Amino acid sequence: MNYQELEELNRTPLLVLLEKAHEVHRRNWPDNEVQVCTLLSIKTGGCSEDCAYCAQSAHYSTGVKNEGLLPREVVLERALLARETGSTRFCMGAAWRGISRKDKRWPEVLEIVRAVSALGLEVCATLGKLGPDEARELKAAGLDAYNHNLDTSPEYYPSIVSTHTYQERLDTIRNIQDAGISVCCGGIIGLGEKQADRLRLLEIVSSFNPHPESFPINALISMPGTPMEERNDDAPVDCWDFIRMCAMARIALPKTRVRMSAGRGRLSHEAQALCFYAGANSLFYGDKLLTAKNAGTSEDLEMIRKLGLNVKKPDPSLMAPLPDAESPLFPEHEPHPCTTPGPCREA
């Protein structure tokens, strides 16, 4: 959808928007299913990047303890536990700007992916910037999906991150797509962005061909020590904004899984029920996200039961969505003057 279409949709009163989104959802996802994913930080803290929301950036004193790459056995133990408790996707995060095959930890990263894949879980990783060779090797090791968020609009991005550009994020996403790995790409709300920035994010992600396999929606968790530490302390992201984002994402990306990600723990079950109604069909399960607390596991099970949702089974033959032959593979986005690091030069 282009910006104008999204803007028009965004003017729809919430209840009408919910109805529209639900109709798209039912048509494309008739199974009343929720995908349950587990996150594990396999390398924590000390990241060279200065993402203003992130507790793992070395630029801020956040109290997060730095930890090197976890031993494979520890990762496997956690993956097995995730499988036993009903998760079907295991997503491993590393606090890196990116990783190259020249890095001495690379062979171990591939071994970890192979080992988790052998458990029959869908394997996802989020390791930062990747080149085409790295993406191909991860695919050969059994990686199903790669999470690389654009987080916000290209215009607002330089106010949040100065150590890498939006274009670098797009390049990595392209490398993942080209390797045949499913793309998981979403954003954060509550960074101080305007609704226009959220619409731009949706515009850009919905211009991908194919659409990403999943779209995570994060609500900022204000992490102590980061420049965003006080942003949402007293007024966390408004649940109606989260619900609206789920509905907009469902309409803009009809066949993409919409994942309620960070910040879900601050939403009531009633608010989450509306997110499911609007088209959300995936969540992170377990007490912890990467470094932050998640919604409680027993409460989540209770909510899934009360709402009558079916927990999705793992799909061992998960295929990356195929591109639409009629459209360009990856539209070139006009480089915006703001996509270079530094303060926005446009009013």
Alpha-carbon distance of 155 to 346, in angstroms, equals 9
HSE (side-chain half, CA atoms, 13 Å) at 133: 6
Catalytic status, residue 124 = yes
Catalytic status, residue 51 = yes
Question: 169, 200, 259, 264: which one is catalytic?
Answer: 259
Catalytic status, residue 54 = yes
- Torsion angles phi and psi, residue 161, rounded to 5: -135, 135
* Peptide linkage before 210 cis (omega within 30 of 0): yes
Tell me which of ligand SF4, ligand SAM, ligand DTB, none is bound by residue 151, counting a contact when its beta carbon lies within the kind-specific cut-off of 5 to 8 angstroms: ligand SAM
Nearer to ligand DTB, 217 or 320 (CB): 217
Nearer to ligand SF4, 49 or 193 (CB): 49
On whether the CB atoms of residues 296 and 272 are closer than 8 A, the answer is no
The correct pick among 6, 49, 154, 314 for binding ligand SF4 (CB under 6 A) is 49
The correct pick among 38, 87, 117, 147 for binding ligand DTB (CB under 6 A) is 147
On whether the CB atoms of residues 52 and 227 are closer than 8 A, the answer is yes
Span 58-97, contacts to ligand SF4 by CB under 6 A: 95, 97
| Count of residues interacting with ligand SF4 (CB under 6 A) | 9
Tell me which of ligand SF4, ligand SAM, ligand DTB, none is bound by residue 17, counting a contact when its beta carbon lies within the kind-specific cut-off of 5 to 8 angstroms: none
Phi-psi region of 86 (alpha: psi -120 to 50; beta: other; left: phi over 0): left
Closest distance of CB 96 from ligand SF4, Å: 7
Phi-psi region of 279 (alpha: psi -120 to 50; beta: other; left: phi over 0): left
Q: Which long-range contacts (CB under 8 A, 24 or more apart) does 64-72 make?
A: 64/291, 67/41, 67/43, 68/43, 69/42, 69/43, 69/94, 69/105, 69/108, 69/109, 70/40, 70/42, 70/43, 72/108, 72/111, 72/112, 72/115
Question: 37, 47, 185, 338: which one is catalytic?
Answer: 47
Q: Is 206 in the site for ligand DTB (CB under 6 A)?
A: no
On whether the CB atoms of residues 311 and 33 are closer than 8 A, the answer is yes
**Residue window 105-134: x/- pattern of binding to ligand SAM, with contact defined by CB under 6 A:** ---------------------x-x------
Span 183-242, contacts to ligand SAM by CB under 6 A: 188, 218, 220-221, 223
Residue linked to tokens 């009013």: 347
Catalytic status, residue 72 = no
Q: Is 218 in the site for ligand DTB (CB under 6 A)?
A: yes
Question: 91, 185, 239, 246: which one is catalytic?
Answer: 91
Closest distance of CB 152 from ligand DTB, Å: 12
Say how many residues make up the chain: 347
Nearer to ligand SAM, 290 or 309 (CB): 290
Alpha-carbon distance of 91 to 81, in angstroms, equals 13
Nearer to ligand SF4, 128 or 187 (CB): 128
Q: Which residues bind ligand DTB (CB under 6 A)?
A: 39, 55, 91, 93, 126, 147, 149, 186, 216, 218, 221, 261-262, 289-292
Kindly list the catalytic residues: 47, 51, 54, 91, 124, 184, 259
